[in-house]
Structure 1
Amino acid sequence: MADIRILDEKTIRISVGLEDALSMIREAESDLQRYAQEIVTIADKMPVFEYTSFCFYAYDSAALFEKMLGMDPRVYTSFSLDAPDAFFYALYGGMSALKSKAVALLKAA
């Protein structure tokens, strides 16, 4: 489970691990219709960031991230994310595995 530390009224520090990536993948798979665009975006854009520096907010792809956190970190002026490479690689793999189903749903819509 993500560790969210509030440093002050404007700043939080978020730490996540492999289990958090797996949680995001399970959530995406459980509601492909809702997360289809986000799945495609994450799968397509993570390689641009060399997989381990991905910014969920750069592409409006943070719904899964926020679901895993249980909050919206944007209510703070500053937040940082500490995550092992395994978090990003697992997330990329999971989103890539779901991508073809997500693309089909988007085309059908």
Structure 2
Amino acid sequence: MAAQEDKAIVRGLRPGHVVLVWLTSGLRQGRAIGWIETALEPLRKTHPYADVHPTGDRIRSATGIESLVWLTDIAGLSRTEAADLMRSTAQALLRATLDPSAASYSTRTSSNRR
């Protein structure tokens, strides 16, 4: 799938919905952070203090296949329960990003990886 098609997938979605797109897409090729960052991009204008890239990393860490596998195989949740939990976690991370008074996360960035 081309990058242009990736953007079409998330165009018009609210940030919390990108989790559903990823979980239902069946495409696990390392594109999730890009999709999440695309969904978060409008925040650069509406919430200039929000750091989109680390937020994308945080949301991806909570919504990736690794989390899904752990929640279903180890924690014993159904796929629906796991998806609900992952969605609520992603939404909590987004809310924390949008609230400038919220306790800050670690300041470690992923600049070393890119």
TM-score range, shorter chain: under 0.3
Q: TM-score, normalised by structure 2?
A: 0.25
Structure number having the greater strand percentage: 1
* RCO higher in structure (CA 8 A, sep ≥6): 1
Q: TM-score, normalised by structure 1?
A: 0.26
